[in-house]
Amino acid sequence: MSNVSKLSKAPAMESDDCVMVNEPSYDALKLWIHCNRCFEIYFKNKTKLILLACHHVSCEKCVKVCVGRTPSDALIYQCPICRKEVRGRLVGNNMPSGIKMLFHPEPWSLHNDFIETFQESNNRHFARFKERQEKIVAKLAKDIEMTKSICQKRYIEMKHMAVERRKALLRQRQIKVALANRKNEQTIMLMKRKQELKKKQLLAAAYAAKSGTQRSNSSQRNQRSRSSSPAAGTSKGTPKRKVTGFMHLSNHSFDL
């Protein structure tokens, strides 16, 4: 891998355009190096990868460290894939050359079937992961489109509801104005009726006072006339007796 890094860094000294062209291809050669459990990619340098003796690659987060027989022993890891307790080495330039050859950028040039099958199995594993992620992304894209269409429908409905709400508010204001006008008309009518009743009461009181004065004057005249002619007054004043039958006189016994 040191030769590959030198080759990749050599064009960068000539021009910046070569760096932009060669860097993605160099990262693509290392794209298959990933954690077989969480699929963390090696060239992102977010975590360290460990090559286990069972030929599985795992990151520090996924692998479990087991205690060796003595403190001086090398670390023993429990593989998260096959659950075997094996030794392992950090993936990097400090690896022994025999193990480092497993990560050679051009395995077809080495004529080693084991290296080629190791890289092909990792490539297939990562390709299946990419297919699953693509399906998830496609499903999410469909869900986004569906939610987008639903949101557009809801937005149109909301606009219609806002228009209806404005119409309802306008109608409410009109009804309030009509009710206020009707109330004012009713108050005006009541005031007019009260005024008419007061006028009628005043006219009735004036008429009663006028008639009372006339009656008092006529009674005074009658009293004067009665005082001037008492016989006439008595004759006139005594009511006539109605004849309802024969008068029975007192019994006087005598012979005829």
The share of the chain scoring above pLDDT 90, in percent, equals 47
pLDDT at 230: 52
Vertex 62: Cα angle to 59 and 63 (nearest 5): 80
Looking at the chain, list the stretches that DSSP marks H as alpha helix, in order from N- to C-terminal side: 2-9, 16-29, 97-100, 113-228, 230-237
Q: H or E element: which one contains 65?
A: strand 64-66
Q: Residue 103: name the closest of 155, 51, 63, 53 by CA.
A: 51
Q: H or E element: which one contains 52?
A: strand 49-52
pLDDT in tens, 205-246: 888 888 877 777 777 777 777 666 554 444 555 556 665 655
Let me know: does 51 contact 88? Beta carbons within 8 Å: yes
Q: Which residues contact 53 (CB under 8 A, 6 or more apart)?
A: 86, 87, 88
pLDDT bucket at 147, cuts 50 / 70 / 90? very high
What is the domain partition of the chain in residue ranges?
2-136
pLDDT in tens, 2-17: 333 333 333 333 334 4
pLDDT at 210: 82
pLDDT in tens, 24-70: 466 778 889 999 999 999 988 888 999 999 999 999 999 988 766 65
